[in-house]
Chain A
Amino acid sequence: MFKQNLQQLFLALVLGVAATAHAGDTTPAAQLQRFEAAASRPASADNGRIFFTSTHGSKWTCASCHGESPTKVSKHASTGKAIDPLAPAANPDAFTDDARVDKWFRRNCKDVLSRECTAAEKSDVIAFLLALKP
Protein backbone atom coordinates (compact mmCIF):
# COMPACT_ATOMS: atom_id res chain seq x y z
CA MET A 1 0.00 0.00 0.00
CA PHE A 2 2.79 2.36 1.02
CA LYS A 3 4.79 1.42 -2.03
CA GLN A 4 1.79 2.10 -4.23
CA ASN A 5 1.32 5.52 -2.70
CA LEU A 6 4.95 6.27 -3.39
CA GLN A 7 4.49 5.27 -7.01
CA GLN A 8 1.50 7.57 -7.26
CA LEU A 9 3.40 10.39 -5.67
CA PHE A 10 6.24 9.93 -8.13
CA LEU A 11 3.86 9.93 -11.09
CA ALA A 12 2.12 12.99 -9.69
CA LEU A 13 5.41 14.87 -9.42
CA VAL A 14 6.55 13.93 -12.91
CA LEU A 15 3.25 14.92 -14.48
CA GLY A 16 3.00 18.03 -12.37
CA VAL A 17 6.34 19.28 -13.66
CA ALA A 18 5.43 18.42 -17.26
CA ALA A 19 2.12 20.23 -16.96
CA THR A 20 3.61 23.50 -15.77
CA ALA A 21 5.98 23.79 -18.72
CA HIS A 22 4.73 25.91 -21.60
CA ALA A 23 5.87 26.64 -25.09
CA GLY A 24 6.96 30.21 -24.36
CA ASP A 25 7.75 31.00 -27.99
CA THR A 26 6.69 34.62 -27.76
CA THR A 27 6.00 37.47 -25.34
CA PRO A 28 2.94 39.66 -24.77
CA ALA A 29 4.87 42.66 -26.13
CA ALA A 30 5.73 40.73 -29.31
CA GLN A 31 2.08 39.78 -29.72
CA LEU A 32 1.09 43.42 -29.38
CA GLN A 33 3.61 44.37 -32.07
CA ARG A 34 2.42 41.56 -34.34
CA PHE A 35 -1.18 42.77 -34.32
CA GLU A 36 -0.24 46.45 -34.45
CA ALA A 37 1.83 45.75 -37.57
CA ALA A 38 -1.06 43.82 -39.13
CA ALA A 39 -3.46 46.65 -38.30
CA SER A 40 -1.04 49.35 -39.52
CA ARG A 41 -1.87 51.57 -36.58
CA PRO A 42 -0.84 51.89 -32.93
CA ALA A 43 -3.01 50.10 -30.38
CA SER A 44 -5.21 51.89 -27.86
CA ALA A 45 -5.53 50.48 -24.35
CA ASP A 46 -8.66 52.58 -23.82
CA ASN A 47 -10.33 51.14 -26.90
CA GLY A 48 -9.27 47.73 -25.70
CA ARG A 49 -10.94 48.22 -22.31
CA ILE A 50 -14.21 49.32 -23.92
CA PHE A 51 -14.06 46.46 -26.41
CA PHE A 52 -13.34 43.95 -23.64
CA THR A 53 -16.25 44.95 -21.46
CA SER A 54 -18.91 45.61 -24.14
CA THR A 55 -21.29 43.26 -25.88
CA HIS A 56 -20.95 42.88 -29.62
CA GLY A 57 -24.24 41.36 -30.67
CA SER A 58 -24.03 38.22 -28.55
CA LYS A 59 -24.95 37.64 -24.94
CA TRP A 60 -21.37 37.45 -23.71
CA THR A 61 -18.58 40.02 -23.48
CA CYS A 62 -14.91 39.08 -23.12
CA ALA A 63 -15.36 39.95 -19.45
CA SER A 64 -18.20 37.41 -19.06
CA CYS A 65 -15.58 34.70 -18.75
CA HIS A 66 -12.37 36.67 -18.11
CA GLY A 67 -13.80 39.05 -15.51
CA GLU A 68 -14.13 42.82 -15.41
CA SER A 69 -10.67 42.89 -13.83
CA PRO A 70 -8.63 40.35 -15.78
CA THR A 71 -5.88 40.50 -13.17
CA LYS A 72 -7.83 38.04 -11.05
CA VAL A 73 -8.93 34.44 -11.49
CA SER A 74 -12.39 34.51 -13.04
CA LYS A 75 -15.16 32.02 -13.73
CA HIS A 76 -16.33 30.66 -17.07
CA ALA A 77 -19.78 32.15 -17.76
CA SER A 78 -21.53 28.86 -18.35
CA THR A 79 -19.52 26.18 -16.57
CA GLY A 80 -18.23 28.11 -13.58
CA LYS A 81 -14.71 26.71 -14.15
CA ALA A 82 -11.91 28.93 -12.82
CA ILE A 83 -10.02 30.77 -15.57
CA ASP A 84 -6.52 32.11 -15.01
CA PRO A 85 -6.07 35.89 -15.30
CA LEU A 86 -5.47 37.20 -18.83
CA ALA A 87 -3.32 40.15 -17.77
CA PRO A 88 0.37 39.27 -18.22
CA ALA A 89 1.19 41.07 -14.96
CA ALA A 90 -0.92 38.52 -13.10
CA ASN A 91 -0.23 35.46 -15.23
CA PRO A 92 3.26 34.85 -16.67
CA ASP A 93 1.83 32.29 -19.15
CA ALA A 94 -0.54 34.75 -20.80
CA PHE A 95 0.26 35.50 -24.47
CA THR A 96 3.46 33.44 -24.48
CA ASP A 97 2.44 30.92 -27.14
CA ASP A 98 1.82 32.17 -30.64
CA ALA A 99 -0.52 29.39 -31.79
CA ARG A 100 -2.44 29.49 -28.54
CA VAL A 101 -3.05 33.23 -28.90
CA ASP A 102 -4.43 32.72 -32.41
CA LYS A 103 -6.60 29.79 -31.42
CA TRP A 104 -8.25 31.44 -28.44
CA PHE A 105 -8.85 34.72 -30.27
CA ARG A 106 -10.43 32.76 -33.13
CA ARG A 107 -12.73 30.72 -30.92
CA ASN A 108 -13.66 33.31 -28.34
CA CYS A 109 -14.22 36.13 -30.82
CA LYS A 110 -16.77 33.91 -32.54
CA ASP A 111 -18.58 33.49 -29.23
CA VAL A 112 -18.61 37.22 -28.48
CA LEU A 113 -18.80 38.82 -31.96
CA SER A 114 -20.02 35.95 -34.16
CA ARG A 115 -16.96 36.63 -36.32
CA GLU A 116 -13.20 36.69 -35.98
CA CYS A 117 -11.67 39.81 -34.42
CA THR A 118 -9.67 42.21 -36.56
CA ALA A 119 -5.96 42.75 -35.96
CA ALA A 120 -6.79 46.22 -34.65
CA GLU A 121 -9.23 44.81 -32.09
CA LYS A 122 -6.73 42.20 -30.96
CA SER A 123 -3.96 44.77 -30.58
CA ASP A 124 -6.25 47.04 -28.54
CA VAL A 125 -7.19 44.21 -26.19
CA ILE A 126 -3.56 43.21 -25.66
CA ALA A 127 -2.61 46.86 -25.05
CA PHE A 128 -5.37 47.08 -22.44
CA LEU A 129 -4.27 43.85 -20.75
CA LEU A 130 -0.59 44.83 -20.80
CA ALA A 131 -1.38 48.10 -19.03
CA LEU A 132 -3.05 46.35 -16.10
CA LYS A 133 -1.21 46.01 -12.80
CA PRO A 134 -1.91 43.12 -10.43
Chain B
Amino acid sequence: MRGRSSTHRTHRRFGAFSLVLLTALGIGASTAVAGGSKDFQPLVLSEKYRSECASCHLAYPPALLPLATWRRLLGSLDKHYGVDASLEPAEVLEISKWLEPLAGTYKKVREEPQDDRITKAAWFVREHRKIEAEVWLRESIKSAANCAACHTTAEQGNYNDDFVRIPK
Protein backbone atom coordinates (compact mmCIF):
# COMPACT_ATOMS: atom_id res chain seq x y z
CA MET B 1 0.00 0.00 0.00
CA ARG B 2 2.85 2.29 0.89
CA GLY B 3 4.46 1.59 -2.46
CA ARG B 4 1.30 2.44 -4.32
CA SER B 5 0.86 5.82 -2.72
CA SER B 6 4.45 6.73 -3.41
CA THR B 7 3.91 5.71 -7.01
CA HIS B 8 0.93 8.01 -7.19
CA ARG B 9 2.92 10.91 -5.82
CA THR B 10 5.44 10.33 -8.53
CA HIS B 11 2.71 10.21 -11.11
CA ARG B 12 1.48 13.58 -10.01
CA ARG B 13 4.92 15.07 -10.43
CA PHE B 14 5.22 13.69 -13.92
CA GLY B 15 1.70 14.83 -14.66
CA ALA B 16 2.52 18.38 -13.85
CA PHE B 17 5.70 18.38 -15.85
CA SER B 18 4.38 16.77 -18.92
CA LEU B 19 1.21 18.73 -19.21
CA VAL B 20 3.60 21.22 -20.71
CA LEU B 21 5.20 18.61 -22.94
CA LEU B 22 1.87 17.40 -24.10
CA THR B 23 0.81 20.79 -25.29
CA ALA B 24 4.12 21.23 -27.01
CA LEU B 25 3.47 18.03 -28.86
CA GLY B 26 0.32 19.60 -30.17
CA ILE B 27 -2.12 17.28 -28.49
CA GLY B 28 -5.53 18.69 -27.65
CA ALA B 29 -5.70 21.15 -24.83
CA SER B 30 -8.75 19.49 -23.31
CA THR B 31 -6.80 16.27 -22.89
CA ALA B 32 -4.00 18.25 -21.33
CA VAL B 33 -6.27 19.64 -18.68
CA ALA B 34 -7.62 16.21 -17.91
CA GLY B 35 -4.07 14.94 -17.49
CA GLY B 36 -3.02 17.79 -15.23
CA SER B 37 -3.05 17.78 -11.49
CA LYS B 38 -3.55 20.16 -8.63
CA ASP B 39 0.20 20.07 -8.08
CA PHE B 40 0.78 21.68 -11.45
CA GLN B 41 3.72 24.03 -11.44
CA PRO B 42 4.50 26.10 -14.47
CA LEU B 43 7.69 24.89 -16.11
CA VAL B 44 9.51 26.54 -18.94
CA LEU B 45 9.26 24.17 -21.83
CA SER B 46 12.44 23.45 -23.68
CA GLU B 47 11.55 23.61 -27.33
CA LYS B 48 14.90 21.98 -28.04
CA TYR B 49 14.09 18.98 -25.87
CA ARG B 50 10.84 18.53 -27.72
CA SER B 51 12.24 18.97 -31.19
CA GLU B 52 15.47 17.03 -30.74
CA CYS B 53 14.78 14.33 -28.17
CA ALA B 54 11.07 13.73 -28.67
CA SER B 55 11.42 13.28 -32.44
CA CYS B 56 12.62 9.72 -31.91
CA HIS B 57 11.14 8.79 -28.57
CA LEU B 58 8.68 9.92 -25.96
CA ALA B 59 9.80 13.07 -24.17
CA TYR B 60 10.83 11.15 -21.08
CA PRO B 61 10.22 13.10 -17.89
CA PRO B 62 13.60 14.46 -16.70
CA ALA B 63 12.71 13.28 -13.18
CA LEU B 64 12.97 9.64 -14.32
CA LEU B 65 16.78 9.74 -14.33
CA PRO B 66 19.34 11.16 -11.92
CA LEU B 67 21.57 14.06 -12.86
CA ALA B 68 24.73 11.97 -13.37
CA THR B 69 22.93 9.80 -15.93
CA TRP B 70 21.52 12.74 -17.83
CA ARG B 71 24.96 14.32 -17.96
CA ARG B 72 26.46 11.14 -19.39
CA LEU B 73 23.69 10.91 -21.99
CA LEU B 74 24.04 14.51 -23.08
CA GLY B 75 27.80 14.06 -23.31
CA SER B 76 27.57 11.10 -25.67
CA LEU B 77 24.73 11.91 -28.06
CA ASP B 78 26.81 10.79 -31.05
CA LYS B 79 26.53 7.27 -29.63
CA HIS B 80 23.00 7.26 -28.26
CA TYR B 81 21.83 3.67 -27.78
CA GLY B 82 23.28 2.72 -31.14
CA VAL B 83 22.08 5.83 -32.95
CA ASP B 84 23.77 9.11 -33.86
CA ALA B 85 21.75 11.77 -32.06
CA SER B 86 24.51 14.37 -32.10
CA LEU B 87 23.74 18.07 -31.74
CA GLU B 88 25.69 21.28 -31.91
CA PRO B 89 27.39 22.07 -28.56
CA ALA B 90 25.16 25.11 -28.10
CA GLU B 91 22.07 22.94 -28.53
CA VAL B 92 23.31 20.41 -25.98
CA LEU B 93 23.96 23.26 -23.56
CA GLU B 94 20.45 24.62 -24.07
CA ILE B 95 18.91 21.24 -23.31
CA SER B 96 21.22 20.68 -20.31
CA LYS B 97 20.29 24.00 -18.77
CA TRP B 98 16.64 23.14 -18.88
CA LEU B 99 16.91 19.48 -18.04
CA GLU B 100 19.48 19.28 -15.26
CA PRO B 101 17.52 21.19 -12.60
CA LEU B 102 14.59 18.83 -13.29
CA ALA B 103 16.60 15.60 -12.95
CA GLY B 104 15.29 13.09 -10.43
CA THR B 105 16.54 13.52 -6.88
CA TYR B 106 13.97 11.54 -4.92
CA LYS B 107 14.73 8.15 -3.45
CA LYS B 108 13.35 5.94 -6.20
CA VAL B 109 15.35 7.57 -8.98
CA ARG B 110 18.50 8.62 -7.13
CA GLU B 111 20.43 5.49 -8.10
CA GLU B 112 21.95 5.52 -11.60
CA PRO B 113 20.38 2.70 -13.63
CA GLN B 114 22.46 0.14 -15.49
CA ASP B 115 23.38 1.17 -19.06
CA ASP B 116 21.79 4.56 -18.38
CA ARG B 117 18.44 3.07 -19.26
CA ILE B 118 15.23 3.97 -17.47
CA THR B 119 14.05 0.47 -18.33
CA LYS B 120 16.93 -1.07 -16.34
CA ALA B 121 16.18 0.90 -13.17
CA ALA B 122 15.20 -1.28 -10.21
CA TRP B 123 11.87 0.54 -9.80
CA PHE B 124 11.03 0.10 -13.50
CA VAL B 125 11.79 -3.61 -13.45
CA ARG B 126 9.78 -4.07 -10.26
CA GLU B 127 6.75 -2.21 -11.52
CA HIS B 128 6.74 -4.16 -14.81
CA ARG B 129 7.57 -7.58 -13.36
CA LYS B 130 4.20 -9.05 -14.37
CA ILE B 131 4.65 -8.19 -18.04
CA GLU B 132 5.71 -11.31 -19.96
CA ALA B 133 8.74 -11.08 -22.26
CA GLU B 134 6.54 -11.78 -25.29
CA VAL B 135 4.43 -8.69 -24.64
CA TRP B 136 7.36 -6.27 -25.00
CA LEU B 137 8.17 -7.73 -28.42
CA ARG B 138 4.73 -7.23 -29.94
CA GLU B 139 4.73 -5.17 -33.13
CA SER B 140 2.35 -2.72 -31.46
CA ILE B 141 4.84 -2.16 -28.62
CA LYS B 142 8.31 -2.98 -30.02
CA SER B 143 10.31 -1.72 -27.08
CA ALA B 144 10.13 -1.08 -23.36
CA ALA B 145 11.17 2.44 -24.29
CA ASN B 146 7.81 2.94 -26.00
CA CYS B 147 5.93 3.97 -22.85
CA ALA B 148 2.98 5.34 -24.77
CA ALA B 149 2.23 1.96 -26.36
CA CYS B 150 0.57 0.87 -23.11
CA HIS B 151 0.50 3.98 -20.95
CA THR B 152 -2.15 5.75 -22.99
CA THR B 153 -1.61 9.01 -21.10
CA ALA B 154 2.20 8.90 -21.07
CA GLU B 155 2.45 11.90 -23.37
CA GLN B 156 0.65 13.83 -20.65
CA GLY B 157 3.04 12.41 -18.05
CA ASN B 158 0.35 10.30 -16.45
CA TYR B 159 1.63 6.76 -15.86
CA ASN B 160 -1.21 5.76 -13.56
CA ASP B 161 -2.27 2.11 -13.84
CA ASP B 162 -5.82 3.23 -14.52
CA PHE B 163 -4.80 4.36 -17.99
CA VAL B 164 -2.77 1.32 -19.00
CA ARG B 165 -4.11 -0.56 -22.04
CA ILE B 166 -1.80 -3.29 -23.29
CA PRO B 167 -2.28 -3.61 -27.06
CA LYS B 168 -2.52 -6.98 -28.83
Contacts and interface: CB of A to CB of B under 8 A. Distances in A.
A and B bound?
Answer: yes
Interface of A: 1, 4-5, 8-9, 11-13, 15-16, 18-20, 75-76, 78-81, 83, 103, 106-108, 110-111
Nearest to B85: A107
Contacts of A111: 83-84
A79 B56 contact: yes
Contacts of A4: 36, 38, 40
A80 B22 CA distance: 18
Contacts of B106: none
B143 A16 contact: no
Interface of B: 19-20, 22-26, 29-30, 32-33, 36, 38, 40, 42, 45, 47, 50, 54-58, 81-87, 141-143, 145-146, 148-149
A9 B36 CA distance: 10
Contact of A80 (B42, B55, B87, B149): B149
B141 A80 contact: yes
B143 A78 contact: yes
B141 A81 contact: no
B42 A11 contact: yes
A19 B47 contact: yes
